[in-house]
């Protein structure tokens, strides 16, 4: 299984710089990830390679023109490959781990259109893309960081991209709840001890401890996640126990 992305942006170097390092670089070398970044200015037709213009109706800021985007999409799609075309912007559907998992199973290439300036001509949203994605309720100066967040979060779900096959499966959000706490040597540092359960060597005791800590942390920090998480009967028992021991969730978290 491999995944391919096409990114349309006025800053292809931003995309290339990030994917050219570390885990994503290795994923590309192994043939598991293919990312092609295209410069939107290469699809303009005027001398100044203009990608934006003043908004009809006035107001501040510039708007990205529909023409160069249309040309870029047409050129990228000319190879005839199946593609899912997504534009990035703060008005889109909020991206989460569930979307990353669904997209990691896509057989189509994923085309990401990065916006800049105050916005993109509405006709792009209406007619040229399949959907719009936001990576959160804040406004970035452009879609490049959002594209990288999406590529990164999807790539690490592709089997073989992470060294340890289990690491993507076990962590935060994959269970629908927050991650358990991690420790490594030394067993004691400036008086701070690693929990005894993790030093026991008993697999069941360790698994129980981790699950309980993950639930405790989720209850304290992100109780909203518990409603949607697929909790087992044992999880519910642990949660009931945690709730009955404490009155408020804020003091469940023993750290700081």
Q: Which residues bind ligand ADE (CB under 6 A)?
A: 88-90, 115, 134-136, 138-140, 143, 146
Of the two residues 63 and 198, which places its CB atom closer to ligand ADE in the complex?
63
Least distance (Å) between residue 143 CB and ligand ADE: 4
Of the two residues 112 and 231, which places its CB atom closer to ligand ADE in the complex?
112
Least distance (Å) between residue 86 CB and ligand ADE: 10
Least distance (Å) between residue 114 CB and ligand ADE: 8
Of the two residues 93 and 234, which places its CB atom closer to ligand ADE in the complex?
93
Of the two residues 56 and 138, which places its CB atom closer to ligand ADE in the complex?
138
Least distance (Å) between residue 59 CB and ligand ADE: 18
Of the two residues 146 and 178, which places its CB atom closer to ligand ADE in the complex?
146
Give the residue at shortest CB distance from ligand ADE. 146
End-to-end CA distance of the chain: 43
Least distance (Å) between residue 140 CB and ligand ADE: 4
């Amino acid at each position: 299984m491999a995944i391919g992305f096409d990114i349309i942006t006025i800053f292809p170097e931003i995309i290339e710089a990030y994917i050219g390092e570390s885990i994503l670089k290795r994923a590309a070398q192994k043939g598991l990830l293919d990312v092609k970044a295209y410069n939107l200015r290469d699809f303009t037709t005027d001398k100044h390679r203009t990608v934006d213009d003043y908004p009809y109706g006035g107001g501040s800021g510039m708007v990205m023109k529909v023409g160069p985007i249309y040309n870029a999409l047409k050129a990228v799609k000319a190879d005839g490959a199946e593609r899912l075309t997504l534009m990035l912007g703060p008005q889109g559907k909020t991206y989460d781990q569930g979307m990353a998992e669904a997209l990691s199973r896509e057989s189509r290439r994923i085309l990401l259109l990065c916006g800049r300036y105050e916005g993109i001509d509405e006709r792009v949203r209406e007619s040229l893309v399949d959907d719009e994605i936001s990576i959160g309720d804040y406004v970035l100066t452009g879609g490049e960081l959002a594209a990288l967040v999406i590529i990164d979060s999807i790539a690490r779900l592709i089997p073989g991209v992470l060294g340890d096959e289990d690491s993507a499966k076990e962590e935060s959000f994959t269970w629908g709840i927050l991650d358990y706490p991690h420790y490594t040597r030394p067993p004691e540092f400036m008086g701070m001890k690693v929990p005894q359960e993790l030093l026991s060597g008993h697999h069941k005791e360790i698994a129980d401890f981790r699950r309980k800590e993950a639930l405790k942390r989720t209850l304290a920090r992100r109780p909203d996640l518990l409603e949607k998480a697929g909790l087992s009967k044992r999880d519910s028992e642990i949660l009931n126990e945690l709730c009955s021991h404490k009155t408020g969730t804020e003091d469940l978290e023993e750290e700081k």
